[in-house]
Amino acid sequence: MTAEQPESMAADAFPTALRAAIQASGLSLDRIQYRLRARGVSISVTALSYWQSGRRRPERAESLAALGHLEDVLGVPTGSLIALLGPPRPRGRVNRESSRLSIEALWGNTEPIALLLKRIDFTTDAALTKLSQHDRMEIGADRGEKLIGVRQVFRAERDGADRTIMVYDLELPGRPFPRVVAGDTCRIGRVARDEDAGLIAAEILLDRPLGRGDTTIVDYALQHPGPPYSRGDDSYCRKFTSPVREFVLELRFDPRALPTYLEQYTADPDDQVTSRRKLEISPDGKAHAVALDFGPGIMCVRWEWPD
């Protein structure tokens, strides 16, 4: 076996899987393009043809964002095609492999989070590369937080990776902690809480140890007690210790109680704001934000209520 063969096999994985998904869907490329356009996604038939033939691969930000919609149109599991692309190509002099931060580095007060992390085992988390993440937050008519659903796609960089970690900050200590509930792709291990700091951490255990190059999808939820639901600081932030190819945040407000203003912003690891963008919310309470090739850093959405 030559040194080039593993790389070649990895390069073939995406177009092979895409061709199989297109054939299984029974849709022509024209029909796929039509359905993507109905979602507000503009991809040419030529581009789709190139992707499935392996002549080109999605690399631009717009193409990577469209890939998630393409997975939905073809009826394949979320993240299954994205995971086959492999790591993003290096840009400039940035070394993405060396840009991973410690978890506590993204908190202003590191002592509480450092003490909390000593109570759980996340030893193999560093062996996982997060390829994509999709969060969905539901806010009730009482302006309280009801649910946060999380779906993540990981790739193992070495054999034996069997767990990752979840850390959640209530922002306003004294609120009741949410219940961490596993989906059908993982289990919840030990859970640690710091009442004074308003922090909760949990072990997210994979169904099986992964081999190097294996991918997996992890889904879990944070269920807040209620109604009534406790109100936070009217924002949602996701902290990334390493670069992620795609992050999508969906917000669902109760149509009976809509905010008057919604804003997406990003911050660097020192919590300095690096960008701001106003978001639109639909009459039925739906909004979303997207970040591509983001991190390390923090992405947030905040909202304002009518008086």
Tell whether 94 is covered by a domain.
Answer: no
Tell whether 39 is covered by a domain.
Answer: yes
pLDDT at 99: 63
Residue burial 93-122, b: 16+ Cβ < 10 Å; e: rest? eeebeeeeeebbebbeeeebbeebbeebeb
Domain hosting residue 218, numbered range:
99-304
59-63, 76-80, 88-92: least confident range: 88-92
6-20, 104-118, 130-144: least confident range: 6-20
Whether 149 and 251 map to the same domain: the answer is yes
Whether 103 and 44 map to the same domain: the answer is no
Tell whether 91 is covered by a domain.
Answer: no
Q: pLDDT tens digits for 212-250?
A: 999 999 999 999 999 999 999 899 999 999 899 999 999
Q: Where are the alpha helices (DSSP H) in the chain?
A: 4-25, 29-38, 45-53, 61-74, 110-117
Tell whether 287 is covered by a domain.
Answer: yes
The domain that holds 56 is classified in CATH as 1.10.260
Q: pLDDT tens digits for 36-62?
A: 888 878 776 667 876 887 766 776 666
Residue 287 or 7, more confident: 287
Residue 168 has pLDDT above 50, yes or no: yes
Question: Percent of the chain beyond pLDDT 90?
Answer: 53
Whether 21 and 104 map to the same domain: the answer is no
Residue 277 or 5, more confident: 277
Mean pLDDT of the chain: 86
Q: Which of 50, 85, 120 is the last residue of a domain?
A: 85
Whether 111 and 234 map to the same domain: the answer is yes
pTM greater than 0.75: no
Q: Which of 85, 112, 130 is the last residue of a domain?
A: 85
CA atoms lying within 13 Å on the CB side of residue 248: 19
Question: Percent of the chain beyond pLDDT 70?
Answer: 87
Whether 235 and 168 map to the same domain: the answer is yes
User: Distance (Å, rounded) from C-alpha 253 to C-alpha 238?
Assistant: 18
Residue 20 has pLDDT above 80, yes or no: yes
Whether 240 and 168 map to the same domain: the answer is yes
Q: Which of 42, 59, 85 is the last residue of a domain?
A: 85
pLDDT at 3: 37
Whether 78 and 115 map to the same domain: the answer is no
Give the chain's domain count: 2
Check if the beta carbon of residue 140 is closer than 8 Å to that of residue 254.
Answer: yes
Tell whether 93 is covered by a domain.
Answer: no
Whether 106 and 58 map to the same domain: the answer is no
pLDDT at 43: 76
Residue 296 or 236, more confident: 236
- pLDDT confidence bin for 271, thresholds 50/70/90: low
The domain that holds 239 is classified in CATH as 2.60.40
Closest CA to 170 of 188, 144, 134: 144
- pLDDT confidence bin for 85, thresholds 50/70/90: confident
Tell whether 55 is covered by a domain.
Answer: yes
Whether 65 and 163 map to the same domain: the answer is no
Average pLDDT value for residue range 264-268:
86
Whether 68 and 203 map to the same domain: the answer is no
